[in-house]
Amino acid sequence: MSLVYKRVALIGMGLIAGSMALAMRRGGLAGEIVGTARSAETRRIAAEIGLVDRVAETAAEAVRGADLVVLAVPVGAMDQIAAEIGPHLEPGVTVTDVGSVKRAVIEAVGPKLPAGVHFIPGHPLAGTEHSGPRAGFAELFDNRWCLLVPVEGTDPAATARLRTLWEGMGAHVEEMDADHHDLVLAVTSHVPHLIAYTMVGVADDLRRVTDSEVIKYSAAGFRDFTRIAASDPTMWRDVFLTNKEATLEILGRFTEELFALQRAIRTGQGEQLFDYFTHTRAIRRGIIEAGQDTDAPDFGRGKARS
């Protein structure tokens, strides 16, 4: 690959931004990578491990001279960050983000950006349960999808350039409407996370099962629930508050399905259960065939990074 952006500013240096820095460096995609974070400890660690070329003390300082700015902070913090960086953005700069909600980000960030800035919200569908500046790795986006949601009137050349960056970092790229994105992610990510948090909470509340038994006898199902539920609580709080309508719509549909399964179990409808599980198993097979997971016994997570 060749240089795509001369200077990239990463606002936030957790798992996604850190992985972007390492993936850009791997592909020679950025001339200079500048990073900043609200936490002084995060900035210190990032400088210590050489995560970026230069660590800035503030977001305003980080974006000066950048031709790409990546907002890699919780959705609830986007509004404040956009207001902080707006006056310091260079004409022609592209501003993007990595949040898993898009409509709320567009409404929070868009009005704070000056004319002449290309605002192209984005969402890489990749991650682990780990967070922080040490969590990133260059391969995170390989063979994963990144969804771009250009706002109305965005220069197609700016979108094409950002697409080139994500493809250079190993991702497949598609463009999507903001509201459709939020509905799709409610199905594929947001509600599953909510269910995982709930199931772990149920196990904790069920006093007939001791804490030691829950930990000691965690079979694959509960173990994977706890892996999902280990995700960053600030990020997920903001996701549910900012993607409220789509999450509640899918949660309502899930509740209907759950009631139907309860009825089938209570009334001994084995054939209905078998047909339902056969259908959902086929969906799982489709995910594996699409290259978005592995059928290894440990789901490929035996070598997960710590």
pLDDT value of position 214: 65
Handedness of CA 303, 304, 305, 306 (dihedral sign): negative
d(CA 150, CA 279): 35
Q: Which residues pair with 7 in a beta bridge?
A: 32
Section 206-218 average pLDDT: 64
Listed by start position, the domains of the chain span: 5-176, 180-289
At 133, list the tokens. 């500046």
**pTM of the predicted structure, to 2 decimals:** 0.83
How many CB atoms are closer than 10 A to CB 266? 8
How many CB atoms are closer than 10 A to CB 106? 18
d(CA 132, CA 234): 13
d(CA 56, CA 12): 11
* pLDDT tens by residue, 136-170: 999 999 999 999 999 989 999 999 999 999 999 99
The CATH superfamily of 5-176 is NAD(P)-binding Rossmann-like Domain (3.40.50.720)
The CATH class for the domain spanning 180-289 reads: mainly alpha
Q: Which of 83, 90, 86, 79 is nearest to 8 (CA)?
A: 90
Q: Do domains 5-176 and 180-289 have the same CATH topology?
A: no
Q: Which of 99, 231, 247, 228 is nearest to 187 (CA)?
A: 247
pLDDT tops 60 at residue 230 = yes
Angle made by CA atoms 101, 194, 305, in degrees to the nearest 5: 80
Higher per-residue pLDDT: 244 or 200: 244
d(CA 178, CA 52): 30
pLDDT value of position 14: 94
Section 268-295 average pLDDT: 81
Percent over 70 (pLDDT), the chain:
90
pLDDT value of position 304: 41
Asked whether 141 and 113 are in contact (CB, 8 A), the reply is no
Section 49-63 average pLDDT: 97
* Reported confidence tier of residue 303, pLDDT bands at 50, 70, 90: very low
Section 181-192 average pLDDT: 91
6-10, 36-40, 163-167, 246-250: lowest mean pLDDT where? 246-250
- Tokens 């491990």: give the residue: 49
pLDDT tops 80 at residue 85 = yes
